[in-house]
Structure 1
Amino acid sequence: MSSEPDSSPARDRAAELSGDPSAVEGPLEGYHHETYVIPLPEAVAGGDAGRGKCRSPRENLLWFDRRCFLSEERLLLALRGHVEGAAVPRVYTVSDETLLQEFIEGHTLGELHPSGEHVPDALVDQVFVLFERLADIAPGDLAVERRCTPEDRSDDHDSADFLERLVHFAEQRVYRYNRPRLGPLFDELGLDDGCFTALRDRVAGLRPRRFCLLHADLHRENFVVDAAGRLWTIDWELAMFGDPLYDLATHLYLMRYPDWQHRLVAKRWAQVMEERWAGTAWEGGTKGWEEDLEKLLDFKRAQSVFTDVVRATEFLTRSPDDEGLLVKEAHRLHAVLTAARRPLRLTGVPAPDRIAAALDRAAR
């Protein structure tokens, strides 16, 4: 759990909904929301003795990813009947304005199998059940309100345009938006406008694929394993419609599987998708998937550079005298920059001590 004031409007709201302030647990760790766990109100529990998540959006946050849906809870409501066999939290309607997500009791996959460790086959099998169900949900299948206008959506199957919109968001909303404040830091790290020219050259030419619903944030902390060994997928904040290979790329990048399991998961995805598309207009739609996957992974490596630089300065601004945090963030940025040398066409990566000095100046 994160450190928050003892009282806040979000906590007060959670206490009011629960009917028992002493039963409120939290806040949970989370960037976008202040979240508390409460017993389900009697009016909506219907005999369910479980708990729900009461969330309030945090104000004045920087956005690092595109958003597709106005409400995560309403998306989850719309998913009913579309994800049979995959474990997705239920949503309870308290009022027209108040929806509570089911709180999944268990341990995150990251707690049970930390980053870099092998994930047991039984859990990977459940990840693929999710991939299969999402692959069947086309852009017109869900009646749920979206943030973006129709004009700001890529045409179904136009994977190249889908990726260009993600690159554009990273360039405009993360890099250029923060450049007036962090320009000297970007310069010291070798990050300039030319990086996006290089990135576009690197990822150009994605092949068309049938669009479907993507979770877009499938990492170890967004999977919860319950007492029965069932794998639940939480935090649908970044869900969108688009190229399913992007969901695989994001998953592989964030999961940090061992190399051998990374390769097995990628190959299995291609086999599963080819089987699902057999006999349809998209038969053969996985052609060239290996080359396109490397392009999408390079996009994720590049995107992480700009996201992590901005986040590191946020962390250090809140803890300006934390030497351990400064060293940790400098080494993390060194690793991220090194991984992105090819897609961003970086001529070199500063040593961790130089990165730490530049971060310290920016944060102060």
Structure 2
Amino acid sequence: MSGDPSLVKGPLKGYHHETYVLALPGGTGTVKVREPRSEILWFDRRCFRSEEELLRALQGHISRVPGIVDVAGMALQGFIEGRTLGEQRRPGRHVPDAAFEQIVGLFQEMVRVTPDMLSVERRCEDRDRAEDGDSDGFLERLLAFVEERVYRKNHAAFAGLFRALGISDESFTLLRKHVLGLQERPFCLLHADLHRENFVLDPKGWLWVIDWELAMLGDPLYDLATHLYLMRYPGDQESRMVREWCRLVERIRPGSSSGWERDLSLILDFKRAQSVFTDVIRVSLSLRDDAGFNWVALPVAAGKLQKILTAAAQPLGLPRVPSRPQIMAALIRWHGGQEAAQGDRAVLTGPGAS
């Protein structure tokens, strides 16, 4: 496509995709070519069928998102030159005021985009979508996705590990009771993955927003909660973001911040609980490679899971959180069970098996 292999850069750093950047012939632009990584587990509900078609629809609504270039019958995203906010300011550190104000401006633009304004094909059927304003129904559908597509889908392989960590079917019953009763808020466009690596600062200091594949239409407070959870602002800057967000969304669409004093903490609790189910699987799998079990990484992995479980103990109704040694022992037992299961399968499918 580029006509010159030396113009291709990559693969770029990224979790979900293998991404390359290429300059098109004749100086017509620089684009990204991406392919989902086959080995990656997807633990997030996706609303729109095509990120590229969504980006087309957002032109004129959101100031700085990648444009779309049509090349040989393919819609490719334009590449944004610059550095991510994460490269410049790691989680836990203050975000520069200029970037902070642009993030606030992004929320201001998104709350203007209502469900009826985007004629983009969606993945889910009408019956799987909450009615506009039904914040409870919106969160219930996200919760049900975690239960069915993360927990139950992987239960056969991870049941023993979940049980050892205090997680069971009842955890979802308790979580539902904990987050029940959200106030109604008018739905709008949500990015749903606004963390530091998805903000790119160009050489002029303008902030661009990339990776819209998890975007959805729903409760605006969910997007704020997800942003706070992922950004890890220092306390004073987090409080400032909440104040600025409430002021702006209420001015544009009254009712968008209704009940935030109670509901923001409940949605954050949902995010903490969601992290338990996804990270138990991801962390445990990260300890296995072609060489076997990674004993060196075990203490750090156990510490990470203990921290995640502690943060989610209340919404999941955990009477106690296992100690780090207990979590290490559970991970070792899980690994041993996986090896035994693989051995059994090898015997059953080996030469002479019937």
Same fold (TM over 0.5): yes
Are the equivalent residues in 1 in contact too, given 2:65–2:209 (CA < 8 A)?
yes
Amino acid at match of 1:232: W
Identity value in percent: 54
Deviation at 1:233, TM superposition (A): 0.7
Partners of 1:235 and 1:156 in 2: how far apart? 25
Q: Give the paired residue count.
A: 335
Deviation at 1:60, TM superposition (A): 5.8
Partners of 1:328 and 1:37 in 2: how far apart? 34
CA offsets 1:16-69 (integer angstroms, 9 cap, x no match):
x22222332221233332211111344xx53x4xx2110122336432111101
Structure 1, unaligned runs of 5 or more? 1-16, 278-282
Deviation at 1:274, TM superposition (A): 1.2
Identify the residue that residue 301 of structure 1 maps to in structure 2: 272
Deviation at 1:161, TM superposition (A): 0.2
User: In the alignment, which of 253, 260, 263 is matched to residue 292 of structure 1?
Assistant: 263
User: In the alignment, which of 20, 23, 28 is matched to residue 4 of structure 2?
Assistant: 20
- After superposition, the Cα gap between the structure-2 partners of 1:326 and 1:28, relative to the gap in structure 1 and judged at 3 Å, is farther
- After superposition, the Cα gap between the structure-2 partners of 1:324 and 1:52, relative to the gap in structure 1 and judged at 3 Å, is farther
User: In the alignment, which of 274, 295, 303 is matched to residue 323 of structure 1?
Assistant: 295
CA offsets 1:144-198 (integer angstroms, 9 cap, x no match):
1111111111111111000000000011111111110011110111100111111
Identify the residue that residue 55 of structure 2 maps to in structure 1: 76
Report the more deviating stretch, 314-323 or 242-251: 314-323
Partners of 2:134 and 2:268 in 1: how far apart? 18
SS in 2 for 1:25: strand
Amino acid at match of 1:169: F
Report the more deviating stretch, 203-212 or 32-41: 32-41
Identify the residue that residue 346 of structure 1 maps to in structure 2: 318
User: In the alignment, which of 34, 49, 52 is matched to residue 18 of structure 2?
Assistant: 34
Say whether residues 1:162 and 2:141 are aligned partners: no
SS in 2 for 1:63: coil
Report the more deviating stretch, 262-271 or 289-298: 262-271
Report the more deviating stretch, 160-169 or 74-83: 74-83
CA offsets 1:230-282 (integer angstroms, 9 cap, x no match):
111111110000001000000000000111211111121111111112xxxxx
Identify the residue that residue 110 of structure 2 maps to in structure 1: 134
CA offsets 1:110-150 (integer angstroms, 9 cap, x no match):
11111101111111110011101111111121121111111
- After superposition, the Cα gap between the structure-2 partners of 1:240 and 1:358, relative to the gap in structure 1 and judged at 3 Å, is same
Partners of 1:185 and 1:212 in 2: how far apart? 38
User: In the alignment, which of 185, 191, 194 is matched to residue 167 of structure 2?
Assistant: 191
Partners of 1:326 and 1:69 in 2: how far apart? 38
Deviation at 1:94, TM superposition (A): 0.8
Partners of 1:89 and 1:160 in 2: how far apart? 32
Structure 2, unaligned runs of 5 or more? 340-354
Partners of 2:289 and 2:79 in 1: how far apart? 29
Within-5 A mapping of 1:96-111: 96=73, 98-111=74-87
User: In the alignment, which of 335, 343, 351 is matched to residue 307 of structure 2?
Assistant: 335
- Structure with larger Rg: 2
Identify the residue that residue 221 of structure 1 maps to in structure 2: 197
Amino acid at match of 1:89: P
SS in 2 for 1:232: strand
Give the root-mean-square deviation of aligned CA atoms: 1.6
- After superposition, the Cα gap between the structure-2 partners of 1:285 and 1:70, relative to the gap in structure 1 and judged at 3 Å, is closer
Identify the residue that residue 350 of structure 2 maps to in structure 1: none
Partners of 2:321 and 2:169 in 1: how far apart? 17
Say whether residues 1:152 and 2:123 are aligned partners: no
Amino acid at match of 2:315: P
SS in 2 for 1:192: coil
Partners of 1:356 and 1:104 in 2: how far apart? 42
Partners of 1:89 and 1:123 in 2: how far apart? 18
Say whether residues 1:55 and 2:28 are aligned partners: no
Partners of 2:258 and 2:22 in 1: how far apart? 48
SS in 1 for 2:211: coil
Amino acid at match of 2:53: R
Partners of 2:180 and 2:193 in 1: how far apart? 23
Partners of 1:223 and 1:128 in 2: how far apart? 13
Amino acid at match of 1:69: F
Report the more deviating stretch, 117-126 or 22-31: 22-31
Are the equivalent residues in 1 in contact too, given 2:185–2:255 (CA < 8 A)?
no
Partners of 2:283 and 2:12 in 1: how far apart? 20
Deviation at 1:360, TM superposition (A): 3.5
Report the more deviating stretch, 63-72 or 248-257: 63-72
